[in-house]
Structure 1
């Protein structure tokens, strides 16, 4: 019996796949638990439309992330911190502080975990911080640390 998986089933198939499954397993386990549906032409067509809509949505997300990345490349976020002699900071500027400053100055809410900063910023001046906006879109943000 051909079925369309509505959810991932370990060892059998992933959501959206069409597979040939034994009739007893399909009728007694998969279909009653809404894990799969019989592969009729209507269900297959609906599945194709859902895949098309999902693909379109992912492309739109990528395009939005690309546009935001281009906008962020021109931005310079100003963060103030206490500093000693020689431009050394007391403490450090973390991604959390950069995210808060970005939201305050440009009204952009970027999660601090998306900032790929290896180590906290420990000196005055401009630092380029890589930001991963999407799986395929990474941009840089200029962070200007000034003395308080």
Structure 2
């Protein structure tokens, strides 16, 4: 019996997959649990339309991420913070600080904090490369320059 999965089913397939299962498994488990529905011609067309729509959305997201990455690639963020004699900061520069500085720089989009992959807060003066990874897989390094605050 041919079915279309609504959800990912272990050892069977992912949501949207067309699978062939035994009639008893379909009638007694997959259909009553709402995990699948019959693979009629109309349902197959709907699945194909959803796949095309999803693919188009992924393409748009990828293009938007590339546009945002190009804007961030040319950007240098300057942060001033109190520091000791040897360049150690009294505090630290965090993901939140970086996102705020990017917003202040006048970028036409809001940088999601989850995209900033800072392994640990910046605690020293100097230039630091911070990786920005967008959800669509696009990655760019943002240059963050930390300077000591003048007394």
Q: Alpha-carbon deviation of 1:135?
A: 4.5
Q: Alpha-carbon deviation of 1:70?
A: 0.3
Matches of 1:13 and 1:123, distance apart in 2: 49
The answer on whether the counterparts of 2:58 and 2:136 sit within 8 Å (CA) in structure 1 is: no
Three-state SS of the structure 2 residue aligned to 1:3 is strand
Q: Which moved more, 1:64-73 or 1:7-16?
A: 7-16
Deviations 1:17-73 (A, max 9, x none): 111111122123222222111111111111111111111111111111110000001
Unaligned runs of 5+ residues in structure 1 are: none
1:42-121 maps to which residues of 2 (within 5 A)?
A: 42-106=42-106, 108-121=109-122
Unaligned runs of 5+ residues in structure 2 are: none
Matches of 1:78 and 1:115, distance apart in 2: 16
Deviations 1:72-110 (A, max 9, x none): 011122222101224332233222321232234436433
CA RMSD of aligned residues (A): 2.0
Q: Alpha-carbon deviation of 1:133?
A: 1.4
Q: Counterpart in 2 of 1:39?
A: 39
Q: Which moved more, 1:8-17 or 1:106-115?
A: 106-115
More helix by share: 1
Three-state SS of the structure 2 residue aligned to 1:139 is strand
Q: Alpha-carbon deviation of 1:127?
A: 2.0
Matches of 1:4 and 1:50, distance apart in 2: 13
